[in-house]
Structure 1
Amino acid sequence: MIPAQAISPHCTLKTFTSVASLNVDVACKGNSSGASNPSDLPRSRTLLQSPSNPSDGMKDFERQLQELYDEVKSMILMGNKDNAMDLLQANYEVVKEQINAGARGIEEAATLDVIALGYMAIGDLKSVGPILYLLDKVVESLKDDGPLLDSVLIHMGSMYSALGKFENSMVVYKRVIGVLESKYGKSSIFLVSPFLGMAKVLVSIGRVTKAIEIYQRAITILESSRGVESEDLVVPLIGLGNLLLKEGRTTDSEIHFIRGKEGRELLEECLLISERSKGKDHPSSVTHLLNLATSYSQSKNFVEAERLLRISLDIMAKTVSPEDQSITFPMLHLAVTLYHLNRDEEAEQLALKVLRIREKAFGKDSLPVGEALDCLISIQTRLKRADAELLELLKRVLNIQEKESHESEEVMQTLKKIVFYLDKLGRKDEKFSIQKRLSVLRMKYKQTVQY
């Protein structure tokens, strides 16, 4: 190990560590729809609390791993990502030498786990894959009843999910659930974390019925051990509530009403739990208000959505600056809601304010700015603003979209709008070149869908 303080590279540490002691923030840009971030986990199983019970002899190695991760996180916060990656790579080389020499114990697994989590925190998903591959080889030889394996496996399930490797994630989650059930029983509070991770993976692979069942198991365990008003219930309730709402959109009208109503009731329960424990004006209520507003918008109840969004903005106004970028998310949602209520002038003013704040916070060519521009264009189109101005806004959106992909469906839709306005403005030369590109893209997209 090479933590912040220099440790001899020839020193092989033979003690154990509880990697669950690491306070990890997973910040990745990949497919994380199935990831179980530490912030999603109930306090009963935070990364500072593990069902494993390491002896005093394990604490020195654990401390060194903690120092390593803390140093990496500190470097990231200070903007020294290159130094953080150098530190992680140095440790990776050391542990690989140990493994090649035949050492494949929990200490090697824990070290690889921390290194992988460090790369996740940086956002370097490409480096995480090979580390997980090696880690998988190490843990497959470890006995299920060994110490600390549960913590490593939970992290692996989350990281595999963040990489979009859902089959690997499912295998790991099944193993850790088996480990915890054999140690602590099928009603153990320690099962909640892997249950939440598994539920998200099941949603990602389309196994919705099974995901609902897993969410319900987690809720049952928490209710029996923490009580029906515990804050720990918020995460699984939100997950289940949003899932039921999402599923309601794809079924017939009667089922839509039942699932939509059930999902909204769960989200309302989350809001009530938060308000009871922290007060009605606490910033933590904003997330629940936004979830509820979204559900009402999906049901076309834009009046109630507007009410909830204005409450969330009032709460945020007491805690953040009017120019803080975080306030733009409920503000843009409100602009869309007002658009649906045909209050276009008010919606336009909000969208313009969001655009200005986001340009300053994220840069004029950022994805959040593209989202604001897209909303503004829809509003100004109905307000019949000048065609030339709308065309320039569309070109800005296209430029932002093309930074992500030149052949996405979003790019294709924006090109169609640009062709429409070029035709209205009589700019035939520009229209011809864009139309030709659009035809090629349509053909490619059609072939991709068929394939």
Structure 2
Amino acid sequence: MEWADFLANEAAINSLSPEQTAAFVERLKTENSGKSEAKLASELNIGAAAFKKRMAEVYEKFAKSFPELATSNSRGKLEKLRACLTAKYNGGQDAQPTIKEIHQNIPPAVPFEKFVGREAKLEELHQKLQKKLQTSRQVAIVAVAGMGGVGKTELATQYAKQHLQNYQGGVCWLSAQGIDVSIQILRFAELKFKLIAPDDWELADRLRYCWQNWQQGEVLLVFDDVNDYKKQVQPYLPPESSRFKVLLTTRLGFDRTLPQLPLGVLKPLAAMKLLKSLVDRERLKSEAWVARRICKFLGYLPLALELVGRYLDTMPDLSLEKLLKRLEKKRLEHEAVAKANPLMRYEYGVAEAFALSWEQLDENAQRLGCWLSLYALADIPFSVEAIEDDEQELYEKAIAQLQKLHLMQWQSKGIYRLHPLIRLFFQMKLDESSSADEVKTAFVAQMLEVAKQIPQQPKREDIFNLIRHIPHIGEVATHLSQYLSNEDLILPFRGLGHFYYGQGLYQQAERWYKVCVEEAKNRLGLEHRDVATSMNNLGVLYQSRGRYNQAESLFQQALELTKHLLGDNHPDVATSLNNLGLLYQSRGRYSQAEPLFQQALELKKHLLGDNHPHVATSLNNLGLLYQSTGHYSQAELLFQQALEMAKHFLGDNHPHVAGGLNNLAELYRSTGRYSQAELLYQQALELRKHLLGDNHPDVAASLNSLAVLYQSTERYSQAEPLYQQALELSKRLLGDNHPHVANSLNNLAILYESTRRYSQAELLYQQALELRKRLLGNNHPHVANSLNNLAGLYFSTGRYSQAEPLYQQALAICEQTLGVGHPDTIKVRGNYARFLREAYR
């Protein structure tokens, strides 16, 4: 018996845990005698303290067999244990009785320290096999089941080796795919126990003779790679006796009557540990992030990880980044995963391993696997109930086959998943078929129907219903866009943009809106209506993020293109006019915005009639402009008309209605009608939370608006938590660099100044000013507002020399951008005049 096997036996005899066994074996290996505990701990990928603790536990357990260990110091314990074990191994006079030979034919296994991530599974398997059964004479049977390449055989091998001492009656390893199993059993009995039954007996009688005369002690029978329990296992089981334990490895999923140990892929850390056992540590350390990406690409499948690890070991100059790119391009056809390494006991590459299961599928199951491979690598919503009645049973059987062979995982009712490499395998099989284009076209058409259901401003209910489909629409947009017709080209991109934009997830939305513009230009040419639509959508997003110059350029291009393609009288022209007007209003260019809003309103009325949701939108926009320019009575009338129209067409529960309530509340607050404003603000906030959820930019805006009202009425304790919530929510959703964040900083600073917390207020005013300058430019009304507020703080705290230039800058900006008669200009001028009276009297 080899020293390593002897150590494994001793670990089993002394009931060491898998973790203790790893530390024990590593510490007592001959080649490690000169290494420090810290070095060995590093090789086991654990801390030095953890290694020391495990070895202390080992000494404690071995002290039951070698009492002299109890009185030795730390270093002495190691040397004493080594001496005792060496003597026992050599059969010396001071050793324990020589270990009785246990007959076995276990195949070679990887060293225990390289068998990672399965410690808990080994323990669970042992517990299942040793569990006391209701009938004491019953044979214990456990099936280790999982997809090809997951390491079922290696788990069984490691278990048999590590627990050899538990099976004094021997371990008989049987290949279900080899020669007849009965012949394998008879040969083992003959070679190991000299049991030879007469040749003229029936096979069943010869097997019975072997079982009856089998060596005493518990016996482990391993049936490896079973794909037909009834033919490959059942006829050869020993008569009922609790000393016989049967372990199966199989790709099949049996029903619940047979105890099973499902074996999945490795955890990410264990996958990295496996890779480290095969590839130089420093090499992995230098490209650690890429190594993790390789593990993820391989789906943490042990077979694939070992193949790639061994491949990298033979290519010392190949960077991990380059290998990952090649794997992503060639996928399962790359030689790193396509062929078995000659040093490995496993004889298949990844695709070959999966092919063994593929060949057991019927045509319907194969077809379904190929269809599912077109979905993204995410939860797949696939409901049989949505299929026509006469085909439901076929699909149910196909799903059952895929699940039974572990080619698909059930997540929850109607939700499934594919392993990343199984998905690539199915895609490969689909591309080999003559119907590949037809299948992909049908899949794209199905996803388009879902994309069409995404509204421009999705509500919480919409998000809940659509979220599981979003990754798969993204898969169509990213990898299957060639199967989109010109007419439908922008639908998935636009739908994805709307889905994220409507939730305030602007970064994700930008990606899809930008790709939409690029795809439309490349496929449809520069002069196409969908190009203008795509530019408008991207422009709206840029405006929301405060990137006004980019937005203005897109809006102007879209307006010019729309007029050129559709003429001056078209709803799309009204949309472009409206978008450009909103941008000008955002930048304080009211004189340019007003005629655009009026043109858009007249055009919509002319084309759609006086009563239409789009007309209500234009009324609201024009009302906002009038409010900004101090024309409150005109604004109020427009807001009221727009709100009534929105309720009539959209119902009381709609984001546009919440926006209308908020606009009217803002007007009431501006004109001192606080009780009316408060009621509408609260209604708008509750409606937005109900429709959009608590985490949405519109909810942050409502919180901010209500806080402004409370501050205006000196209810500071109510205002402050709302400001803080709004600021935190805006930062989390929009990022630190956004005009809404600057507004929240400014408003909270006003509150701090009102409650005489001047140092806190000054810091926030300065932050808001710098942010507004950076995002909006130096000559913007919001910058003037920040300058005015900071000047007021300096004035209040007697720092006149700092206040005066800020007042002058603020007034100059207001007069230039808003005009001398604008309410904001008048307010700043009044503040400056009061400062001059006080400062120089």
Q: Judge same fold: TM > 0.5, yes or no.
A: yes
Pair 1:295 & 2:622 matched = yes
Q: Distance in 1 between matches of 2:429 and 2:609?
A: 52
Q: Distance in 1 between matches of 2:773 and 2:698?
A: 28
Q: Distance in 1 between matches of 2:531 and 2:671?
A: 42
Residue 133 of structure 1 aligns with an amino acid whose one-letter code is T
CA deviations 1:133-178 (Å, max 9, x no partner) are: 3225xx2xx8xxxxx7324533355368655255543342135435
Aligned-residue offset at 1:331 = 1.1
Pair 1:407 & 2:744 matched = no
Describe how 1:99-114 pairs up with structure 2 within 5 A.
100-101=431-432, 105=437, 107-109=439-441, 111-112=443-444, 114=446
- Residue 636 of structure 2 is matched in structure 1 by 306
Aligned-residue offset at 1:365 = 6.2
Q: Which of 643, 651, 660 is the matching residue for 1:330?
A: 660
Describe how 1:41-120 pairs up with structure 2 within 5 A.
86=416, 96-97=427-428, 100-101=431-432, 105=437, 107-109=439-441, 111-112=443-444, 114-115=446-447, 118=450
Q: Which of 599, 603, 616 is the matching residue for 1:265?
A: 599
Residue 265 of structure 1 aligns with an amino acid whose one-letter code is Q
Q: Distance in 2 between matches of 1:110 and 1:99?
A: 13
Q: Distance in 2 between matches of 1:330 and 1:318?
A: 13
Pair 1:132 & 2:480 matched = no
Residue 404 of structure 1 aligns with an amino acid whose one-letter code is L
Aligned-residue offset at 1:311 = 1.9
- Residue 213 of structure 1 is matched in structure 2 by 560
Contact 1:245 / 1:260 at 8 angstroms: preserved in 2? yes
Q: Distance in 2 between matches of 1:168 and 1:366?
A: 24
Aligned-residue offset at 1:315 = 3.8
Q: Which of 141, 149, 155 is the matching residue for 2:485?
A: 149
Aligned-residue offset at 1:214 = 1.9
Q: Alignment length, in residue pairs?
A: 339
CA deviations 1:227-273 (Å, max 9, x no partner) are: x6xxxx43x033222134145458997xx646631442222221343
Q: Distance in 1 between matches of 2:667 and 2:660?
A: 10
Q: Which of 315, 333, 339 is the matching residue for 2:669?
A: 339
Sort the Cα spacing of 1:330 and 1:151 in 2 relative to 1 into closer, same or farther, 3 A: same
Residue 268 of structure 1 aligns with an amino acid whose one-letter code is E
Q: Distance in 2 between matches of 1:393 and 1:160?
A: 31
Q: Which has the higher strand share?
A: 2
Contact 1:354 / 1:372 at 8 angstroms: preserved in 2? yes
Q: Distance in 1 between matches of 2:447 and 2:673?
A: 52
Sort the Cα spacing of 1:437 and 1:242 in 2 relative to 1 into closer, same or farther, 3 A: closer
Aligned-residue offset at 1:212 = 1.4
Query: With CA pairs under 8 Å and 6+ residues apart, which has the higher RCO, 1 or 2?
Result: 1
Identity level (%): 12
**CA RMSD across the alignment:** 5.2
Sort the Cα spacing of 1:201 and 1:123 in 2 relative to 1 into closer, same or farther, 3 A: farther
Q: Distance in 2 between matches of 1:426 and 1:250?
A: 31
Which structure has the bigger radius of gyration?
2
Judge which range, 87-96 or 293-302, deviates more.
Answer: 87-96
Pair 1:391 & 2:720 matched = yes
SS in 2 for 1:164: helix
Sort the Cα spacing of 1:88 and 1:308 in 2 relative to 1 into closer, same or farther, 3 A: farther
Contact 1:290 / 1:330 at 8 angstroms: preserved in 2? no
Residue 477 of structure 2 aligns with an amino acid whose one-letter code is L
Q: Distance in 2 between matches of 1:157 and 1:272?
A: 31
- Residue 380 of structure 1 is matched in structure 2 by 710
Name structure 1 gaps, 5 residues minimum: 1-5, 13-63, 69-80, 143-147
CA deviations 1:195-227 (Å, max 9, x no partner) are: 53355457765334321122213433xx8xxxx
- Residue 275 of structure 1 is matched in structure 2 by 609
Q: Which of 186, 197, 207 is the matching residue for 2:534?
A: 197
SS in 1 for 2:609: helix
- Residue 174 of structure 1 is matched in structure 2 by 521
Q: Distance in 2 between matches of 1:316 and 1:365?
A: 24
Residue 96 of structure 1 aligns with an amino acid whose one-letter code is Q
Residue 108 of structure 1 aligns with an amino acid whose one-letter code is K
Q: Could you state the TM-score of these two structures normalised by the residue count of structure 1?
A: 0.56
Q: Distance in 2 between matches of 1:367 and 1:251?
A: 20
Q: Distance in 1 between matches of 2:418 and 2:574?
A: 35
CA deviations 1:266-318 (Å, max 9, x no partner) are: 22221343336xxx4xxxx2442232231342253443232122123334555
Q: Distance in 2 between matches of 1:346 and 1:251?
A: 29
- Residue 122 of structure 1 is matched in structure 2 by 467
Residue 533 of structure 2 aligns with an amino acid whose one-letter code is L
Contact 1:156 / 1:172 at 8 angstroms: preserved in 2? no
Name structure 2 gaps, 5 residues minimum: 1-361, 369-390, 396-410, 455-465, 498-508, 543-549, 778-841
Describe how 1:346-361 pairs up with structure 2 within 5 A.
346-359=676-689
Q: Distance in 2 between matches of 1:199 and 1:106?
A: 34
SS in 2 for 1:407: coil
Q: Distance in 2 between matches of 1:250 and 1:420?
A: 22
CA deviations 1:25-84 (Å, max 9, x no partner) are: xxxxxxxxxxxxxxxxxxxxxxxxxxxxxxxxxxxxxxx9xxx9xxxxxxxxxxxx9767
Q: Could you state the TM-score of these two structures normalised by the residue count of structure 2?
A: 0.33
Q: Distance in 2 between matches of 1:155 and 1:363?
A: 26
Sort the Cα spacing of 1:311 and 1:117 in 2 relative to 1 into closer, same or farther, 3 A: same
- Residue 366 of structure 2 is matched in structure 1 by 10
SS in 2 for 1:105: helix
Q: Distance in 2 between matches of 1:379 and 1:149?
A: 52
SS in 1 for 2:490: helix
Aligned-residue offset at 1:406 = 6.6
Contact 1:116 / 1:132 at 8 angstroms: preserved in 2? no
Q: Distance in 1 between matches of 2:580 and 2:765?
A: 37
Aligned-residue offset at 1:332 = 0.8
Aligned-residue offset at 1:330 = 0.9
- Residue 48 of structure 1 is matched in structure 2 by none
